[in-house]
Structure formats: C-alpha cells, structure tokens
Structure 1
C-alpha cells in the first residue's frame, strides 16, 4: 500500500478520501484509524461521518 500511486478510502460504498499512504495517514481520518488497527496500535474504531472524519 505504501508504494501505491493512489489509494481510495470507501465507507458504506462511497468514496470518502483519495491519496497516497503518507497523506492519508497524516490526515487523521478513517484510513489512519484502519492503518493503526492493522499495526496493532489500537483496536477501537471511532464513529466516522460520511466524509471519513472523526467528529469532534
């Protein structure tokens, strides 16, 4: 995934983000959360709105 030209982040079948791995991880949205779960840094999935962002 880190070497991909572009990644698409989908939620409920809708595109919520698009970009490269580093930008998506830095963004703090759904992709970062899923990446941290993959790494074993967290097992908690926060509520995410339809734009892929965690509500404040």
Structure 2
C-alpha cells in the first residue's frame, strides 16, 4: 500500500509541475527520483554482497 501512495504522490507532483508550465522542474523531479532510486538500489545490492561475501 505504501508504494502505491508514494508513486501516486510522485505522479501528482510531476503532473502539477508540468501542467503548471514548469516542464523542466517536472523533468528534473523525474530524473532526481529515478537517479536516487537507482543509487539506493545499487548501495543496497553492494552492502548485501559485502555482508554475505558473495
């Protein structure tokens, strides 16, 4: 349930920015969310491998 509401909030924020004419801000928000999500995933995978010595 938390993921759905988080994604809905993200989508609403991006739509509000783009609909308000702030296209670059909306695209920047998308890039920021995607980049930080991928970074967090990479860190998690790296730490998992480090802990388990995989």
Does TM, normalized by the shorter one, top 0.5?
no
Q: Which has the higher contact order (CA 8 A, sep 6+)?
A: 1
More helix by proportion, 1 or 2?
2
User: Given the two structures, how large is their TM-score scaled by the length of structure 2?
Assistant: 0.28
**Rg larger for:** 2
